[in-house]
Amino acid sequence: MDPDALDAVDPLRGFRERFVIDDPNLVYLDGNSLGRLPIKTRERINQVAGQEWAADLVRGWGKWFDLPQRLGGKIAEIIGAHPDEVIVCDSTTVNLYKLAHAAMRAQGGRNQVVTDALNFPSDLYALQGIVHGLGGQLELVASDDEISIDPSRIADRLNQRSALFTASHVSFKSGFMHDMGAVTETVHAKGALALWDLSHSVGVTPIRLNEWGVDLAIGCTYKYLNGGPGAPAFLFVRRGLQDRLQSPIWGWFGQTDPFAFGLDYAASCGVSRFMVGTPPILSLAAIEPGVDLILEAGIGAIREKSRSQTAYLVQLWEKHLASLGVALKSPPDATRRGSHVSFGHPEALRIAKALIEKMNVIPDFRAPDNLRFGISPLYATYREIHQGVERFAEVIRRRQYEEYSETRPSVT
């Protein structure tokens, strides 16, 4: 299928020009690691720094104070939650720590956390730290093929000692997507709470936390939400749980009345008790225009395009890459996949280097042998995907990767 013909009939094609496209020839397939800069965001940063900070100084707090809740309300709309169930604060890892710790403490005699081997390493580290501190155990559900998790294995692993199940909705490496509603139901049937990491699915796939009965969730804003490098994360606590959970980090922004400067901590009501210290206003302000773009485009249309584009990429793999020794490391079924596709090749590291340094294509490399092609439907074109695959094939055919060293850079 001709990529230009597909681009011509793409209902979301107008959104690409809402982003800064600095180099029109760059094939950017890493929007799942760092989303592009929306044009409005650049204006917003200038406004908040150049006008509000510059002129309003400390008086600016009148405008800034409720930003974590206001932005949370907008993200809630994207993830199927009530506006008072979501706030934006801290990093994803810190939010996982706070919520998983709180869930463990609330679960009385149960001291196990169950997760799976496809979860994000930072999540696993945070969980290891929690069970170390609380004297519990972390149980890891294995993946049979390193691509997906069999839900029956989760059910088998849960028992009357399980306090919490937590996993990435979409796995960072293979792109596998759990059936969040079904798994949450299984988790509840065993008396455990469910905490989902939405980092690789928010903004690109429909999520209905309330409908699916989810207890807790966290997620990142700098991937498909295009919030900017290191933008703070969000957290969700369902209404019925909010006043039963205690944050393990007691700070003044989680206190009932921070500016009373009382000497004793009293947890604020609602989800805001999971805030800790002063919110990073410049980074927070930069998140909003990207979230507005997602709301404007509509998550249904975004998912539709994402599915079509990942399917197109898989078709091109079959035609041009499979015969060159490239393996598909993502679920072949688009309904079980997020918006990135992983490929395996023994020379993945050097191929990634050649693509980035010589071919003006940006995928990313995930050790030991994975190349990820992330597709952010608001700005990715079919033409770009086609060029990415063409150049990928060329690097292998001409053995261009041989010019690069096998040393892994410190950031990939």
* Residue ranges binding ligand PLP (CB under 6 A): 91-93, 120, 122-123, 168, 172, 197, 199-200, 220, 233
Nearer to ligand PLP, 110 or 372 (CB): 372
**What minimum distance in Å lies between the beta carbon of 407 and ligand PLP?**
24
* In the complex, least distance from residue 199 CB atom to ligand PLP, rounded to whole angstroms: 3
Query: Nearest distance from residue 221's CB to ligand PLP, in Å?
Result: 9
Q: How far is the CB of 306 from ligand PLP (least distance, A)?
A: 16
Joined tokens for residue 369:
């042998």
- Which alpha helices (DSSP H) does 86-150 contain, by range? 92-106, 121-134
Nearer to ligand PLP, 91 or 111 (CB): 91
Compare residues 172 and 274 and give the one whose CB is closer to ligand PLP: 172
Beta carbon of residue 94, minimum distance to ligand PLP (angstroms, whole number) = 7
CB-based contact 392:400 (threshold 8 Å): no
Specify which residues 168 forms β-bridges with.
197
Measured from the CB atom, the residue of 92 and 242 that comes closer to ligand PLP is: 92
For tokens 């078709």, name the residue.
315
Instruction: Kindly give the interhelix angle for 382-397 and 348-357, rounded to the nearest 10 degrees.
Output: 120
Decide whether 122 or 246 has the Cβ nearer to ligand PLP. Answer: 122
Q: Which residues are CB-contacts of 161 (< 8 A; sequence separation ≥ 6)? A: 109, 110, 111, 112, 137
Give, to the nearest 10 degrees, the angle between helix 281-297 and helix 39-47: 150
Nearest approach, Cβ of residue 315 and ligand PLP (Å): 26
Helix (H) / strand (E) containing 366:
strand 364-366
Q: How far is CA 188 from CA 62, 106, 147, 192, in A?
A: 42, 15, 25, 5
Q: Which residues pair with 113 in a beta bridge?
A: 138, 164
State how far the Cα of 38 lies from the Cα of 36, in Å rounded to an integer: 6
Catalytic center residues: 120, 197, 222-223, 372
The closest alpha carbon to 254, from 107, 93, 78, 102, belongs to 102
Indicate the residue among 120 and 253 with the shorter CB distance to ligand PLP.
120
Contacts of residue 397, defined as CB under 8 A and 6 or more positions apart, other chains included, come to 324
Query: What does the DSSP assignment read for 176-190?
Result: BB--HHHHHHHHHHT
